Structure 1
Amino acid sequence: MAHKGAAFAQGLPDALNSFSPGLPLAVALSGGADSVALLVACAEKWPGQVHAIHVHHGLQAAADGFERHCVALCAQLNVPLTIQRVDARNATGESPEDAARKARYKAFRAAAQTGGAQAAIKDIAIAQHADDQIETILLALSRGAGLPGLAAMPQRWERDGITYHRPLLAVPGAQLRAWLVERGITWVEDPTNTDEQFTRNRIRARLLPTLEEAFPQFRETFARSARHAAQGQALLLEVAQQDLAAVGSPPVIKALQALSQPRQANVLRHWLLQQQATPSAAQLEQLLSQIAACTTRGHQIHLKVATGHVTRAGAVLQYTAAADKTG
């Protein structure tokens, strides 16, 4: 069925027309329809300048089949392929999704540094599309996320000296599959994609069809809201940087108290993130309450935040991370 929000939905060629990565370019290739479509289109647009990276997670029996399909496809396209085998099992207290994500980034970095016969790769394209973006927004809403979560997935970002791109965020998944079918190109179906024990799969199977029926242009309007959230978050970051320069790092308590509570929360979140600590909403609220009550020299602050503690050290706050017990 054709996507009804035609003014927003881009076809794959249209999406690539506005995509100008650095070359050579690597494409993350899982073997699924989305990444296969992106690789084929990029290889046609930049012949001889595209490299594929396949990450073998080893988490399911079908993984070897994914790899075989990627090998055959890249041979057909005459595209160099790097296969990275990783251990993506999650540690205690770590979600499987986070473990797999960390393993993928490590694999991408290793593959980009080798680059095969080509120069070192500085740009990697990932095939997440419009439906993935909507699922991300809905998950953020379900968790009560703030602006960073509601901004969803950025189209471009940098990590470990590599620029990552998502050129397909305006292309619905159905259009990618239709494009492949028209060209007679096959892909591999991940058997876990239909397992509704995963929240994303329930959203895809149950919510997206209902939203499409009720709000035919929901992809466009939701994406617009995500862009507004991203702009708002960028502004909050600028304010936080300015306020942190004023209150100091570590923050001076009296200087914090001179700010409004929303600005206190904003600058404290920014400071804690710099300490590799992500506070929950409840932890941040408790910290704001303690700062407001800190009117005497003897008032103590000792609050758990993330895996460490925020304490008072004279006139300033300090954050102490939990001791690493793995050594």
Structure 2
Amino acid sequence: MQLDLPRLLRESLGPDAPPRVGVALSGGGDSTALLHAALLAGFAVEAATVDHGLRPGSAQEAEAVGRDCAALGVPHAVLRWDGAAAVGNVMDAGRRARLRLIGAWARGRGLDAVLLGHTADDQAETFLMRIAREAGLEGLSGMRPRFAAEGVIWHRPLLSVPRAGLRDWLRARGIGWVEDPSNDNPRFGRIRARQAMAALRPAGVTPETIGAVIGHLAAADAALNRLLSDWGAEHVTQQGGEIRIHAGAFAGLDPELRRRLLNAALVWVSGAEYPPRAAKLAALLAAPRDATLHGCRLRVTRGQIVVARELRAVAGLRVPVGQDWDGWRIEGPPGEVVALGAGIAECPAWRDTGLSRAAVLASPAVWAGNRLLAAPVAGRPEGWKTLNRRGSFAFAGLCR
């Protein structure tokens, strides 16, 4: 059956899709097919390419992608990241940098949606990589087709399409693409997973069969999350930037649901992409107590488990008013957004907010040097307004 990528994109984004979308464009076959499919689907498209600087010629490649976009009438931006200075897991650091850079670009361009060119092959390779890390059901349920991060919604409309199918689609239309030499470098875990996939194919293990398994696991994962979401509607409250869980009801939950709930709360409050290490969380689940974990402060008090942001995790974060600050945005007259911290002494009404002291200490406040201008979360708005950019915990935390 002939691949109809424009129709697939329209169906994937749904009837409420915005008319303008961004495309994360590397110039490779996957993202190039995505760009052309988005144009054929009738979207107004803008594109961004991250120059990672990991090898000679990357800047020239990004500029060449820009020329191709210009020929199509697509606005294009090159975003720079000094990958050579990255330490540790370079591929993971690069992925985080791409999200951060492209997210900021999309917000600046007024784009609410960004398309990513991940394919069925990427999904299968990720599955193998997560098996190697002994991932549980959540990790083995695959990459999400849609998620929110960096103030935008990211879509992966090609997760059901094999990489080879996209290249056939491009060839049929006379559209070229570039191949990244790092795609053959076994130093990277993803490339080793790609090589393993090739070795498994004779045994019938293909991206398509792994995709079917991922679908089964994702259905089971969603069922557990629905159970947890229903339970949370009665026993979990979200206020400001903190989560409160009824301690007695929590103790009666199945251990797997307790783990999921606390993981979700920690990720939502911290804004982290990943949950904490399993061993650290297991120790806390075995004996819930006051603790700091994953950039969060946990307290067990008055029959509740309170999960709030830890002041130390945001103490060095500074942005101008109007920019995102740790999942918040303050709007109003000019100033610098910094954690409230010791400024709580100038906010006697903070106790009336119903928030924990930890949450108030780590909340955003407006400063002019050492002078506190406003602390909206702490009951001292002074004309400034706050917006919690994390969204609903019930949706973001308990639903994939």
TM-score interval, smaller chain: 0.7 to 0.9
Q: Tell me the equivalent position of 1:65.
A: 60
Q: What letter corresponds to residue 147 of structure 1 in structure 2?
A: L
Q: Tell me the equivalent position of 1:260.
A: 254
What's the offset of the Cα at 1:135?
Answer: 0.5
How far apart, in 1, do the equivalents of 2:45 and 2:30 lie? 16
How far apart, in 1, do the equivalents of 2:147 and 2:113 lie? 10
What's the offset of the Cα at 1:246?
Answer: 2.2
How far apart, in 2, do the equivalents of 1:165 and 1:210 lie? 30
Q: What letter corresponds to residue 78 of structure 2 in structure 1?
A: I
How many residues are aligned here?
Answer: 303
Q: Tell me the equivalent position of 1:294.
A: none
Q: Tell me the equivalent position of 2:287.
A: 290
Q: Tell me the equivalent position of 1:232.
A: 220
> After the TM superposition, which parts of structure 1 deviate over 6 Å for at least 4 consecutive aligned residues?
89-92
Q: What letter corresponds to residue 287 of structure 2 in structure 1?
A: Q
Q: Residue 15 in 1 paired to residue 8 in 2?
A: yes
Q: Tell me the equivalent position of 1:199.
A: 189
Aligned partner (choices 192, 196, 214) of residue 203 of structure 2? 214
What's the offset of the Cα at 1:91?
Answer: 6.4
Task: After superposition, give the CA deviation of every residue in 1:216-263 in whole Å (9 maximum; x if it has no partner).
Answer: 6x3233212222333333333333344454277544544433333333
CA 1:121 to 1:303, structure 2 compared with 1: closer, same or farther past 3 Å? closer
Q: Which has the higher contact order (CA 8 A, sep 6+)?
A: 1
Identity %: 32
1:1-327 to structure 2, matched below 5 A, reads 10=3, 12=5, 15-16=8-9, 18-20=11-13, 21-46=17-42, 49-88=44-83, 95-115=89-109, 120-205=110-195, 207-215=196-204, 218-244=206-232, 245-246=234-235, 249-251=243-245, 253-276=247-270, 278-291=275-288, 301=289, 305-306=293-294, 316-317=304-305, 321=310, 323-324=312-313, 327=316
What's the offset of the Cα at 1:54?
Answer: 1.5
CA 1:241 to 1:153, structure 2 compared with 1: closer, same or farther past 3 Å? same
- Normalization by structure 2: what TM-score? 0.65
How far apart, in 2, do the equivalents of 1:215 and 1:69 lie? 39
Secondary structure, counterpart of 1:82 in structure 2? strand
CA contact (8 A) 1:250 1:318 kept: yes
Secondary structure, counterpart of 2:148 in structure 1? strand
Structure with the largest fraction of strand = 2
What's the offset of the Cα at 1:43?
Answer: 2.3
How far apart, in 2, do the equivalents of 1:254 and 1:19 lie? 41
- Structure 1 unaligned blocks of 5 or more: 1-5, 292-300
- Structure 2 unaligned blocks of 5 or more: 238-242, 317-400
How far apart, in 1, do the equivalents of 2:236 and 2:27 lie? 50
- Normalization by structure 1: what TM-score? 0.78
